[in-house]
Amino acid sequence: MPDSSSSARLSALDAAAPALLSDRPGAPPGLFDEDWWLDAAAPGAWDRVKVIWDGELVGQMAFHLQKRWGMIYLKMPHLTRTMSPRLFTPPGKAVTREINNQTIVAELLRLLPKHDRFERALNPGCPSVPGFVHANLAVTHMFTFRSKPGEGPDEMLQLAHGEARRAITKAQRECTAERSMDIDRFNRLHHQAYGAETLVDYAVLQRLFEAAAQRGQAEIIFVQVNGKADTAAMIVVWDRTTAYTWLLARDPNQNYVGATSLLTFEAMKTAHRLGCVLDLDGYVSPKVGAFLMKFGLAPIARPYVNHSSRRWQAFRAVTTLMKPKRPDRHFRVA
């Protein structure tokens, strides 16, 4: 394989990747790539393609197949946040490993079923990004916010904007936070907030939460004002390295200012207790992004990759004319 002076730069990129994206054989998968998660999110509707070199597994990629409007979609299952390939690149120089990564990603893509649309968000630092670019897929950047390894809740709070700190301090005086495993209680509050307009499939949510709870990888934090009814709640799920503020519900009638801020601070406590990094789980609307930014966690790119047939592109053009204000239109590039 060719040598290059870029090897030092590539080594630095490798070192910057999160631990859950280690490409060493035997490295544990992230939460959203676990078989049990995919079984709960898309029972019977997901699979993996695998690349084998000289009898050794060097790459695999899960996908969820869905048929809609006469087209085939390969996408992430409902409520699944990221879906990265797992690369087990053979040892070698950094530049050689980078070249092999790109080759493995190209082979994984060739093994996928025929489809009209391929799309997914990748884990931050995912080493597969150049491979997708070289395979001519569109790559855009969404963002999430993450704490640093070992950072405690008080340290995180010191980095927060004064507005966020004041909201948390006030909520701590006026509210109580309670940890629970009562998913029905959360669903009632969530349905109260969104009603028929909810984008959440509660059956899928129930399966995912129960599967994570059985493995000790989920909890629900409820906030009450002055001991009254629940005003807000957050589900936190985690793997070995990262805790995610996965879903949020708020009582639209109480609408207590500071409830979400207090929930986020409580999630910081959970992540610290688990020895995990806290991930605020991304956002689509700029308004939500501006709110999450106030907690002082580092903005981290969460790459979004996609590819589509001409038939899907024509379909998207029509639906964009019908729903031009959908907040996800700007990053779901054709």
Segment 259-281, tens digit of pLDDT? 999 999 999 999 999 999 999 99
Per-residue confidence (pLDDT) for residue 325, from 0 to 100: 63
Per-residue confidence (pLDDT) for residue 27, from 0 to 100: 60
Task: Quote the CA–CA distance of 314 and 71 in Å, as a whole number.
Answer: 12
- Tokens representing 287? 């308004």
Least confident of 33-42, 70-79, 227-236, 313-322: 313-322
Question: How far apart, in Å, are the Cα atoms of 299 and each of 26, 146, 147, 244, 330?
Answer: 29, 7, 9, 15, 19
pLDDT tens, 46-69?
Answer: 999 999 999 999 999 999 999 988
Task: Quote the CA–CA distance of 175 and 250 in Å, as a whole number.
Answer: 14
Same fold, 7-140+305-322 and 148-296: yes
Residue identified by tokens 């799309």 is: 119
pLDDT tens, 90-101?
Answer: 999 999 999 999
pLDDT greater than 60 at residue 12: no
Task: Quote the CA–CA distance of 271 and 150 in Å, as a whole number.
Answer: 9
CB 115 within 8 A of CB 76: no
In percent, how much of the chain has pLDDT > 90? 77
pLDDT greater than 60 at residue 289: yes
Q: Which of 270, 178, 155, 297 is nearest to 231 (CA)?
A: 178
Which CATH architecture best describes the domain 7-140+305-322? 3-Layer(aba) Sandwich (3.40)
The amino acid at residue 193 is A
CB 270 within 8 A of CB 236: yes
Least confident of 5-14, 55-64, 158-167, 206-215: 5-14
With a CB cutoff of 8 Å and minimum separation 6, the contacts of 148 are 277, 298
Q: Residue 215: helix, strand or coil by DSSP? A: coil
CB 190 within 8 A of CB 247: yes
Interval 222-236 mean pLDDT: 93
Q: Residue 166: helix, strand or coil by DSSP? A: helix
Interval 110-118 mean pLDDT: 96
For 88-145, give the DSSP string.
-PPS--HHHHHHHHHHHHHHHHHHSPP-SEEEEEPPTT-TTHHHHHHTT-EEEEEEEE
Domain boundaries, the chain: 7-140+305-322, 148-296
Interval 3-18 mean pLDDT: 35
Per-residue confidence (pLDDT) for residue 7, from 0 to 100: 34
Report the chain's mean pLDDT, rounded to a whole number: 88
Q: Which of 282, 240, 278, 305 is nearest to 33 (CA)?
A: 240
Q: Which of 44, 103, 38 is nearest to 77 (CA)?
A: 38
Per-residue confidence (pLDDT) for residue 2, from 0 to 100: 35
pLDDT greater than 60 at residue 220: yes
Interval 133-153 mean pLDDT: 94
107 pLDDT tier (thresholds 50, 70, 90): very high
pLDDT greater than 70 at residue 328: no
Per-residue confidence (pLDDT) for residue 8, from 0 to 100: 37
Task: Quote the CA–CA distance of 232 and 299 in Å, as a whole number.
Answer: 25
Q: Which of 293-297, 310-314, 329-333 has the highest mean pLDDT?
A: 293-297
Right CATH for 148-296 from 1.10.150.120, 3.40.50.150, 3.40.630.30, 3.90.340.10: 3.40.630.30
Q: How many CA atoms lie within 13 A of 76 on its CB side?
A: 19
Per-residue confidence (pLDDT) for residue 178, from 0 to 100: 96
The distance from CA 34 to its chain's CA centroid, rounded to whole angstroms, is: 13
